[in-house]
Amino acid sequence: MKSPSVAAAIFDALDEQHPGADTELHFTNAYELLTATILSAQSTDQRVNMVTPALFARYPSPAALA
């Protein structure tokens, strides 16, 4: 695991290399973003945004999904 200062340096470097980067995926926390990103590798972001509300309603946490 990276220290907070190393993580901040990584985030700063990424922000400098990719200013204004954003995602089309809808999420409210890190779990939802990770799950949506994994799903988007197999489908379109639009389709992922259609199915994830029901998925996250049924499985609101990693423990619930497991």
Q: What is the pLDDT of residues 7-62, one digit of tens each?
A: 999 999 999 999 999 899 999 999 999 999 999 999 999 999 999 999 999 999 99
Pair 14, 7: CB distance under 8 Å: no
Q: Which of 1 and 34 is assigned the larger pLDDT? A: 34
Query: Residue 2 corresponds to which tokens in the numbers above?
Result: 């990276």
Residues 36, 48 contacting (CB under 8 angstroms):
yes
pLDDT at residue 2, as a whole number? 84
Residue 8 pLDDT: 94
pTM for this entry: 0.74
Find all residues with CB under 8 Å of 8, minimum gap 6, and list them: none
Q: Write down the pLDDT at residue 1.
A: 81
d(CA 48, CA 39): 7
* Closest listed residue to residue 52, CA positions, set 22, 32, 24, 31: 32
